[in-house]
A = this chain, B = another copy of it.
Amino acid sequence: MKRLVLLWFLLFCTFFLHAEDGYRLWLRWDRIENKTLLRSYSGQITFIRLPGETPVAGTARQELQTGLSGLLGKVVGLEPGKTRKGVVGGLISDPVVAAYLSAEERDRIGEEGYLLRFDGMRILLAAKDDRGLLYGAFHLLRHLQQQLPLEQLDFLENPKMKIRVLNHWDNLDRTSERGYAGFSIWNWHELPEYIDPRYRDYARANASVGINGSVVTNVNANALVFRRDYLEKVAALAAVFRPYGIKIYLTARFSAPMDQGGLPSADPQSPKVQKWWGDKVKEIYELIPDFGGFLVKANSEGQPGPQQYGRTHVDGANMLADALKPYGGIVMWRAFVYSDKEPEDRAKQAYNEFVPLDGQFRENVLIQVKNGPVDFQPREPIHPLFGAMPKTPVMMEFQITKEYLGQGTHLVGLASMWEEVLNTDTYARGKGSTVSKVLDGSLFGYQLTGMAGVANIGTARNWTGHIFGQADWYAFARLAWNPYLESKAIFLEWTRLTFGLNPQVVGPITEMLASSYETCVRYMTPLGLHHIMAEGSHYGPGPWIDQIPRAEWNSAYYHKADEQGLGFDRTETGSKALAQYRPQLAEWYGDKTNLRFLLWFHHVEWKEELSTGRTLWAELCLQYDQGAREASALKVKWTTLQPFIDTERYEQVSMHLAIQEKEARWWRDACISYFQSVSKMDLPEGLAPPKYSLLYYKMLIFPYAPGTRPKW
């Protein structure tokens, strides 16, 4: 009876005191329910040996102890007991560890890397530095939480990228540009005194998947962050991140010497400007000795930059790089530029501006390039700069926050898209010159390598607003560690860690994740359509937008629908953007049977028969219809999981899937309505007509859609 009460009380605790609100992410470390396995693990893991005095080593030890104790339901101590069965870890310079390694293995373990191996007696964790220990510790915990056999523990992992950073487009007032999970988690006002426990949990979650840097401010930057009191706030955050191996970075507003320094110009050739930056960087490093460096958006969308002074990106980036060099800091200079002049083709601009500058940047500069040439569209060809700057490290910028893919409420597994991008062959050094090989430095021998992800993290209790947004955060980090991972493997891993191992759960969820990307493309921008979202907020469809003075901010600029047909001719007969790719890739992109990119590169007649045997018009309607139906199917599929998932997370996802279904239908109906108003063609037989008139869809306005500038 007493036992029963206690059991009930435990359940009660679990239910009432610890609702499954999603806060724990993939870091659960709940006791393993499989009794046999638990006994086996417990027998093999009786202690943890992981010396090290650095803060990061301390974190590794603590996380390992917390995690193992949770998973095994017992306190795992730090002293070997009667048995020698346990975790034996340490640096490769540690003789105890070195004894178990071959010389070749010691050589192969690189910076931040680790070897993790079960030899039948002990679990060996060896690393070259303390970050490697931390990453290896989390790898071990992931392995056990997935209840994989100890015998499979045989890994030698080195990160493929040196810089694995999140970009927070967070403003100092806590609004978050393109943030759909509430507001910024950085409470600048109460820093440096008040340290929200969430800062630590943030660092921990990132470290658990290998992120080693965080740019905490918006690329549309505010120079106020360089004021002394703000730098002290930054230092307080840095101190929280440090034990998790995470460096802090700031965005540098190019006009900061004017905004904060009171100088009359920000000309990078001005000695006073150079001195201001030099002094400011010195001040920063005095407060934050391991400061990472700057991320810069210059001469783009109204942001100041060197071109205002007749200088180049090289002049601007190198000036900052020179200031940072003595301290080991880097500059991530964004290639997402918008000149003041109207471009002949928006998609061509960055390539045209940056390729001529190749080789002129300092060694501590990386060029940060978005995955595609326009702007994080549901589907884009790769950015032509990948493979086109052999002498300048080019790093990837992915957008984890779903500005254009359903924002905070759609389930879309972004890893599918990223995999497509990373695996694309640039042919820069012949066949096999994938984007991944550009990024990891293997193609051109870049000394600096990196991947940035625009974070989808906010004040929402579950971090990402949509529970499945966690999968995107997770996937980004895993791909930054190793861009060669398969999306399906990542989905599987995340699902098992987040929702447990029940195959009745794991199968459907991974299928949902894996299929959802194509579904989203279908109901939003099928066949290579792009940038037809509502203006400003990018919330919902807006293919009719054609009145904004700036041409390339209009949907019509991108889809070029007219009575004859649809699509942007970027071939030889059009903007010639296709020619920015190597011939083999251009051929593939330009192939009209490659329907993924058809309307990206071609203006196609409505009546033209596609490789599917249907006309463009029929195919377009069918794609929209299918996308909407697939969104409904996602919701239905989820209902089959109800018996197997905790109520809280089940309900959260259900409610979001209802929104996704509604909005997918909205996309379908609005776009079919609009394109029909241009094509003047009848709907394909059997296709349900749009629910409302085109005017209805055009009149919908949402002034408070999240992620945009607040309006009062």
27 interchain pairs (CB within 8 A)?
A5-B75, A9-B31, A9-B73, A10-B13, A12-B69, A14-B17, A19-B197, A21-B197, A171-B712, A172-B703, A173-B706, A173-B710, A174-B182, A174-B704, A183-B183, A189-B408, A189-B706, A190-B408, A190-B655, A193-B659, A194-B652, A195-B655, A197-B648, A198-B461, A220-B712, A224-B704, A709-B712
Closest to A459 in B: B459
Residues of chain A from 652 to 674 with CB closer than 8 A to chain B in the complex: 652, 655-656, 658-659, 662
Question: CB-CB contacts of A205-235 with B at 8 A, as 1s and 0s?
Answer: 0000000000000001000100000000000
**Is A188's CB within 8 Å of the partner chain B?**
yes
Chain A 692-712 near chain B by CB (<8 Å), digits 1 or 0 = 000000000011111001111
Closest to A707 in B: B189
Cβ-defined contact, B189 with A705, below 8 A? yes
Q: Is A424 engaged at the interface, CB distance under 8 Å to the other chain?
A: no
Cross-chain contact A18 with B21 (CB below 8 angstroms): no
- CB of A648 to closest CB in B, whole Å: 7
Cβ of A254 to closest chain B Cβ, rounded Å: 17
A193 touches B12 (CB 8 A): no
Per the bound structure, the CA–CA distance linking A189 and B174 in Å amounts to: 18
Distance of A703 Cα from B658 Cα, bound (Å)? 40
Chain A, 170-191, CB within 8 A of any chain B CB: 171-175, 182-183, 187-190
Interface of A is mostly: loop
A704: contacting residue among B19, B21, B172, B195, CB under 8 A: B172
* Smallest beta-carbon distance A520→chain B, Å: 18
What copy number does this chain have within its complex? 2
User: Is the C-beta of A70 less than 8 angstroms from some C-beta in chain B?
Assistant: yes
* Shortest Cβ distance from A230 into B: residue: B704
A349 to B86, CA, bound (A): 77
Q: Which residues of B contact A188 (CB under 8 A)?
A: 704
Q: Output the least CB separation between A227 and chain B (Å).
A: 10
20 more CB-based (< 8 A) A-B contacts, given A174-B182, A193-B655: A5-B75, A8-B75, A9-B74, A12-B70, A13-B13, A16-B70, A17-B18, A173-B704, A173-B710, A175-B710, A175-B712, A182-B187, A182-B459, A189-B705, A189-B706, A190-B409, A220-B712, A224-B703, A224-B704, A709-B710
B66 touches A16 (CB 8 A): yes
Binding site for B on A (CB under 8 A): 5, 8-10, 12-14, 16-19, 21, 29, 31, 66, 69-70, 73-75, 171-175, 182-183, 187-190, 193-195, 197-198, 220, 224, 408-409, 459, 461, 648, 652, 655-656, 658-659, 662, 702-706, 709-712
Max chain B C-beta neighbours (<10 A), residue from A220, A648, A710: A710
B contact residues around A70 at 8 Å (CB): 12, 16
Q: Nearest chain B CB to A315's CB is how many angstroms away?
A: 28
Question: Which residues of chain B come closer than 8 Å to A17, judged between CB atoms?
Answer: 14, 17-18
A17-B14, A182-B459, A183-B183 given as contacts; is B706 within 8 A of A655 (CB)? no
CA distance A334 to B327 in the complex (A): 59
**What is the CB-to-nearest-CB distance from A117 to chain B, in angstroms, rounded to a whole number?**
28
Q: Are B658's CB and A193's CB within 8 A? A: yes
The chain B residue with its CB closest to the CB of A183 is B183
With A69-B12, A183-B174 known as contacts, the answer to whether A74 contacts B5 (CB < 8 A) is yes
Inter-subunit contact A174/B709 (CB<8 Å): no
A691 CB → nearest B CB, Å: 15
Residues in B with CB closer than 8 Å to A648 are 197
10 tightest A-B CB contacts, nearest first: A17-B18, A173-B704, A194-B655, A173-B710, A172-B704, A18-B18, A193-B659, A193-B658, A710-B710, A459-B459
Q: For A705, list chain B residues within 8 Å (CB).
A: 189
Q: Which of A21, A194, A652 has the most CB of B within 10 A?
A: A194
Task: Let me know if B409 and A194 touch, CB within 8 A.
Answer: yes
Chain B residues near A74: list those with CB within 8 A.
Answer: 5, 8-9
Residues in B with CB closer than 8 Å to A73 are 5, 9
Contacts of A75 in B (CB 8 A): 5, 8
**8 Å CB contact of A183 from B14, B66, B182, B193:** B182
A164–B700 alpha-carbon span in the complex (Å): 37
Docked pose: A656 CA to B648 CA in angstroms = 32
Instruction: Pick from B31, B197, B659, B710: contact of A194, CB below 8 A.
Output: B659
Contacts of A461 in B (CB 8 A): 198, 461
Partner of A189, one of B18, B195, B704: B704
A684 CB to closest chain B CB (Å) equals 30
Which of chain B's residues has its CB closest to A660's CB? Answer: B193
B10, B183, B659: the one within 8 Å of A190 (CB):
B659
Give the Cβ gap from A639 to chain B, nearest Cβ, in Å. 15
CB distance from A568 to the nearest CB of B (A): 31
Known: A17-B17, A171-B712. A656 touches B194 (CB 8 A): yes
Give the distance in Å from the alpha carbon of A577 to the alpha carbon of B196 in the complex: 46
In the complex, are the beta carbons of B173 and A711 less than 8 A apart? yes
Known contacts A173-B704, A189-B705, A655-B195; A459/B183 CB under 8 A: yes
Selected contact of A174 from candidates B655, B662, B706, CB within 8 Å: B706
Contact partners of A175 in chain B: CB under 8 A? 175, 710, 712
Chain B residue numbers with a CB within 8 Å of A187 are: 182
Interface centre among A74, A182, A189 (most CB of B within 10 A): A189
How many Å lie between the Cα of A496 and that of B29 in the bound state?
A: 34
| Smallest beta-carbon distance A402→chain B, Å | 14
A31 — which chain B residues lie within 8 A by C-beta? 9
| Residue among A171, A173, A662 facing the most chain B CB atoms (10 A cut-off) | A173
Shortest C-beta distance, A19 to chain B (Å), equals 7
> How far, in angstroms, from A189 to B224 measured CA to CA in the complex?
31
Give A294 Cβ to nearest chain B Cβ, in Å: 20
Across-interface contacts of A198 in B (CB, < 8 A): 461
> CA A648 – CA B195 in complex, angstroms?
11
Cα-based distance from A5 to B461 in the complex (angstroms)? 31
Inter-chain CA distance A168–B74, complex, in Å, is: 47
A655 to B193, CA, bound (A): 6
Residues from chain B with Cβ under 8 Å of A66 in the complex: 16
B residues near A19, Cβ cutoff 8 Å = 197
Question: Is B12 touching A18 in the complex (CB atoms < 8 A)?
Answer: no
Q: How far is the CB of A7 from chain B (nearest CB, A)?
A: 11
